[in-house]
Structure 1
């Protein structure tokens, strides 16, 4: 049973006791000791998203990234199997890869030239006579992490005893499938990425992608910058069909544009936006039929929902948002633009339009991300005042119901998704 969080005990309670059903202690944002526990109990035990299939299209392709704070390399080996390995030489600890992505036959440490295969196996050691009788080459490959995928999303974990990925994702899996329908009948690929950091705790951003309450307030400049059709589509504050579902295991889905929750559902009555007239003409010239044009153009704004996957990735309407904790008060965000992967004469114009829309909101000079980041910075600064004062996550608690699927559900402006994430956080932090 959770103890009552009070000014007199907030500094003494163990981390898991700092989460209540309707509030969390501000210590969760500011306590370096809690942050260190999160790195081991959450980021080294959870399934953490590391890549999308399209980033590793062929054997020999790789991507370097992080699981929590630990650097890793994700590769597709010669047999086509995806591997995740620590980016750390087994000899003296140097990183063996400094490139963000590319192609390679293997990886060689620049310090003493120990070399490793794409599967992490140790291939060569210079001047091996010095290791006679003292080196078991078979046990000195790059350390591998358990790696599994779902719907093209690749996850890794340090925990060999973790439940299978499919079980961890649970009821989020159908939403992953729906998200990728924005390919308009084609597979989805990564178009590009950009990174930035904000001065705040990682959980502030985890909350943001399941927070519909802030959208018309923080993003009013974006709403004023787009055409009336787009602004109207995103006016969900009073739409009773716009809801958030708690999907279990800390995952949630925030359905801002319910009619675009499943892009395969199209009764033909929705008018294609005037802003895409030129794109429609180009697709017609490329020989795309009316049904194909509707699929591609209706998906230009993405799927109409944010799928928050605990702990580090959101499949957010039309892009991935990936968080990486740096310290208790600093977080790196990677925005990943995506689009259909098909014939260039068809998907080329579509993806150019998608990139312009991505830049307009998510880009570093866009109307959305800078406003979000300012809000995240301010939350971190504010929580240094009155550290015994809680962070409230009780909006909509009194009107939360159960969906036909059994998911706790409330309005899209409510904090159901945050409560879902903190319930998972509490469970993992209590499991010492």
Structure 2
């Protein structure tokens, strides 16, 4: 193996570019708290960060709380239907003005001194305002508002006003978002609840996982053994001719089941046995073509889409990462349902979600243990590299940004974006 020059610990705090090579990254990226602090500034405050799905704000004066990096925000929909992302911090003495995860409110009131704010962030009222000087103007003290843009119901926010439009940042990923949203089966997509957990590891360890098919038959052996034979064959992700594609700006897609890329195709195919009872139930209320469309959507898309830096559109759910500390990350798994779709179809989707992604499911606990062990192992050795060289050589007949399904193409894409932003 090619020899690499050693990197002294003090250098990792100065030359971020030296930590990322074409086929490997330095372990310091997982464990150096100085690097983590710089990531919060250089990445999470300088790009588009996912904060909500439109269905989480179902009407006027609705809200949810979220984070942009480590900074707490409130995502709101005002009485005109406009979405705002506001720093969750009173302009007076910095107390948070909202502690609920979601709900409906026409005003946010600071519990410390009673300053109140409209859902668009405007300061509405200051108790005992006579105590301030005559030039005190409430218009000067709204909640700090971030720039907000939306694509296909995905709501992103950024601290930067001069950043490129969201559609340009997403680039070729837009095609895959469009395909992913076909899970609405004509009804539209709606979030169907979530669960959160933390693991003692760096956020980039989870970022890598979304487009890592190489681990699937090993880590998820218990999940595969829980399936019927036909479904187990379907989840032979390394044997179906899939691929991983670098979509630019750190985004990537991993196609595991090519037959399920476009859920509106192959509707004449036989209904899988595991979905026949659902199809029979749906047939009592819907015509055959719609039944087939719903059933095909219930199983989810055959790909994982990674949107740098914090969102995965993963087969049949949203996975959101939140960096907490250099060695701690929060994960939210958000189930997806059909907005106004049949109860039977949505019930089936939630059962499938629970089977793999749920807190008692077969998939998430195994993934989380793997991530934790990466962080633990990263403490061994002072100058070791994390290898990302699988599938690096070009594949004949494929573009240079495409590798086979087990390639580490997506990880290399994310780290090149990391390098670009950390050295800008």
TM-score range, shorter chain: over 0.9
Task: Find the counterpart in structure 1 of residue 368 from structure 2.
Answer: 373
Given that 1:363 and 1:369 are in contact with CA atoms closer than 8 Å, whether structure 2 keeps it comes out as: yes
Q: Is the 8 A contact 1:10 1:18 kept in 2?
A: no
Match of 2:145 in 1: 144
Q: Distance in 2 between matches of 1:373 and 1:175?
A: 26
The answer on whether the counterparts of 2:181 and 2:189 sit within 8 Å (CA) in structure 1 is yes
Q: Once the 2 structures are TM-superposed, how far is the Cα of residue 408 of structure 1 from its aligned partner?
A: 0.2
1:31-430 alignment runs, 5 A limit: 31-239=32-240, 241-266=241-266, 268=268, 270-286=269-285, 288-343=286-341, 347-400=342-395, 403=398, 408-430=401-423
SS in structure 2 opposite 1:17?
helix
Quick check: 2:403–2:409 contact (8 Å CA) kept in 1?
yes
Q: 1:133 to 1:300 in 2, by over 3 A?
A: same
Contact residue 247 and residue 407 of structure 1 kept, 8 A: no
Distance, in Å, in 1 between the alignment partners of 2:382 and 2:134 is 57
State the distance in 2 between where 1:132 and 1:401 align.
73
Contact 1:245 1:407 in 2 (8 A): no
Conservation of the 8 A alpha-carbon contact between 2:267 and 2:289? no
Note the alpha carbon deviations across 1:243-293, whole angstroms, 9 max, x for none.
01100000000000011111111251x32121222211210112x111111
SS, match of residue 30 in structure 2: helix
How far residue 131 of structure 1 moved from its aligned partner, in angstroms, is 1.4
Contact residue 184 and residue 296 of structure 1 kept, 8 A: yes
d(CA) in 2 for partners of 1:387, 1:264: 51
User: TM-score by structure 2 length?
Assistant: 0.97
Q: Distance in 1 between matches of 2:373 and 2:245?
A: 28
Moved over 4 A (4+): 400-403
Q: Over aligned residues, Cα RMSD in angstroms?
A: 1.4
CA contact under 8 A between 2:208 and 2:411: conserved in structure 1? yes
Residues 313 and 321 in structure 1, CA contact (< 8 A), matched pair in contact too:
yes
Conserved 8 A contact 1:400-1:408 = no
- Looking at structure 2, the residues matched to 73 and 328 of structure 1 have their Cα atoms a distance apart, in angstroms, of 24
Cα gap change, 1:155 to 1:407, in 2 (>3 Å) = farther
Deviates more, 1:128-137 or 1:27-36: 128-137
Give the secondary-structure state (helix, strand or coil) at the position aligned to 2:11. Answer: coil
Q: Structure 1: 5+ residue runs without aligned partners? A: none
* C-alpha distance in structure 1 between counterparts of 2:136 and 2:402, whole Å: 57
Q: In the alignment, is the contact (CA less than 8 A) between 2:267 and 2:296 conserved in 1?
A: no
Counterparts of 1:78 and 1:58, CA distance in 2: 8
Instruction: Quickly say closer, same or farther: Cα 1:253–1:8, change in 2 above 3 A.
Output: closer
Q: Quote the offset at 1:174 in angstroms.
A: 1.1
Q: Is the 8 Å Cα contact of residues 267 and 292 (structure 2) preserved in structure 1?
A: no
Is the 1:245–1:252 contact (alpha carbons within 8 Å) kept by the matching residues of 2?
A: yes
Deviations 1:324-372 (A, max 9, x none): 00000000000000110125xxx21111111111111001111000000
SS in 1 for 2:172: helix
C-alpha distance in structure 2 between counterparts of 1:402 and 1:90, whole Å: 58
Please report how far the alpha carbon of residue 237 of structure 1 lies from its aligned counterpart in structure 2 after TM superposition: 1.1
Contact 2:267 2:293 survives alignment (8 Å): no
- TM-score, length-scaled by structure 1: 0.95
Are the equivalent residues in 2 in contact too, given 1:401–1:410 (CA < 8 A)? Answer: no
Q: Secondary structure at the match of 2:345?
A: helix
User: What is the distance in 1 between the residues matched to 2:355 and 2:70?
Assistant: 30
Partners in 2 of 1:211 and 1:377 — Cα distance? Answer: 16
Instruction: Tell me, in whole angstroms, the C-alpha distance in 1 between the residues paired with 2:300 and 2:267.
Output: 18
Which secondary structure does the structure 1 equivalent of 2:171 belong to?
helix
- Once the two structures are TM-superposed, the CA of residue 417 in structure 1 deviates from its matched residue by 0.3
In the alignment, structure 2 segments of 5+ residues that lack a partner are none
Equivalent-residue separation in structure 2 for 1:50 and 1:407 (angstroms):
32
